[in-house]
Amino acid sequence: MRVCICSTKVPFTYGGAEILDETLESELARRGFEVERINLPFTWSSRRELLKSGLLWRLLDLKTASGDEIDLVIATRFPSYLIRHPNKVVWLYHQFRQAYDLHGTRYGFLGPGEEDQMVVDTIHAMDKRGLGEARALFAIARNVAQRLQTHNGLEARTLYPPPKLGDQLRCEGYGDYLFFAGRLDEMKRVEAMVKAFQQTRSGVKGKIAGTGPLQASLASLIAESGLGERVELLGWVEDEELLDHYARCLAVYHAPYDEDYGFVTLEAFGALKPVVTAADSGGVLEFVRDGVNGVVCGAAEPRQMARAFDELFENPSRTQAMGEKGKEAITEISWDRVINELTATLPG
């Protein structure tokens, strides 16, 4: 059976969605499917380019060189699911949130003007058509499915993806530092983590892995705050180093704003580490339970985060107990289930 995975690629960016695309491809191939990943560049540098990106997918006609039909198309994120295909299944990573829940917030770029409202309305119409055509509609988290129901009136079943490194995660103790892994942008709220260390009373430390637009400003904040010996920016780390930090850290900080899903949560639990998050962190809260397998702060606010960091550092036995509880929350998530669900529309 020939399967095409349709996704988008923002030039020179790499994160959870790209990793999930690659892992889905390899998991399908491992099970004997002939797989091709189709990526088109996506940009919202202008309103015109944003809508053109959707039109490109709508105009595509996926067939083999000899004109044969592809057996299954799995579309993932906006606007790849606008592609036409008689056996289109959507596994929704996220919609274009700038036209939905981020519209009108500090994280959005579309304003209240007439032109921007036209763009928002057009994207809503595109989504309702493209997603409504799917023979099966899944979402990677309840949070994503709930947004789709709220804004578009469409129902999607939740289908959680396992983390890429799931079977390699391990625990080698509980060190003296909180660990963060991810893109360094505003929505990940890494700045709140750094500022929290200004207010801690204990000797707890922090290590931050990743790159992104806030890298330089975070480096300045760390230097200006005199935190250079306690908080370290690691930059991009390869998989083996990432696994080492999960294995040796005290706990994991993951308090983004309304995250779609959050692979970091599952990676932390796979390494038996508790997660520090916030009450508005979205998909993370589908797994983290305050005081059970992590700490849910009322807000991503430095003072509250500092208190959580200190308590984890000063109560190592309780921290370990919470970390060990985390794995229970992810035991039912498997690639076998994901592939079986996504390919159920294939004959035989």
Predicted confidence (pLDDT) per residue in 169-196, tens digit: 999 999 999 999 999 999 999 999 999 9
Look up the pTM and report it. Answer: 0.92
pLDDT (tens digit per residue) in 226-270:
999 999 999 999 999 999 999 999 999 999 999 999 899 999 999
List the single range of 59-63, 200-204, 336-340 with lowest mean pLDDT.
59-63
End-to-end CA distance of the chain: 11
Give the DSSP H or E segment for 241: helix 239-248
Give the DSSP H or E segment for 42: none
Q: What is the pLDDT of residue 206?
A: 98
Question: Per-residue b/e over 138-159, b at no fewer than 16 CB within 10 Å?
Answer: bbbbbbbbebbeebbebebebb
Q: Which 8-state DSSP code applies to residue 187?
A: G
List the single range of 74-88, 98-112, 175-189, 248-262 with lowest mean pLDDT.
98-112
How high does pLDDT run on average in the chain? Answer: 94
List the single range of 32-41, 87-96, 100-109, 296-305 with lowest mean pLDDT.
100-109
Report all structural domains of the chain as residue ranges with CATH numbers, in order of start: 2-161+333-342 (3.40.50.2000), 166-330 (3.40.50.2000)
Specify burial of residue 110 (Cβ count, 10 A radius: 0-12, 13-18, 19+).
buried
Q: What is the arithmetic mean of pLDDT over 199-224? A: 96
Q: What is the pLDDT of residue 44?
A: 77
Peptide bond into 79 cis (omega under 30): yes
* Percent of the chain residues topping a pLDDT of 90: 81
Q: What is the arithmetic mean of pLDDT over 215-227? A: 96
Query: Alpha-carbon distance 11 to 216, whole Å?
Result: 20
Tokens standing for 76? Answer: 């993932």
Answer whether 254's CB lies under 8 Å from 264's CB. yes
Q: What is the pLDDT of residue 15?
A: 80
Q: What is the pLDDT of residue 20?
A: 94
Among 96, 145, 144, 103, which residue's Cα sits nearest to residue 123?
Answer: 96
Query: Alpha-carbon distance 227 to 224, whole Å?
Result: 8
Answer whether 110's CB lies under 8 Å from 103's CB. yes
Adjacent-strand bridge partners of 207: 179, 232
Q: What is the pLDDT of residue 210?
A: 95
Q: What is the pLDDT of residue 191?
A: 97
Within its chain, how far is the Cα of 116 from the centroid? Answer: 26
List the single range of 41-45, 170-174, 233-237, 290-294 with lowest mean pLDDT.
41-45
Beta carbons within 8 Å of 81's beta carbon, 6+ residues apart:
6, 57, 75, 88, 90, 92, 127, 130, 131, 134
Q: What is the arithmetic mean of pLDDT over 130-154? A: 97
Tokens standing for 331? Answer: 């035991």
Q: How far is CA 169 from CA 251, 288, 308, in A?
A: 14, 18, 24
pLDDT band at 12 (very low <50, low <70, confident <90, very high): confident
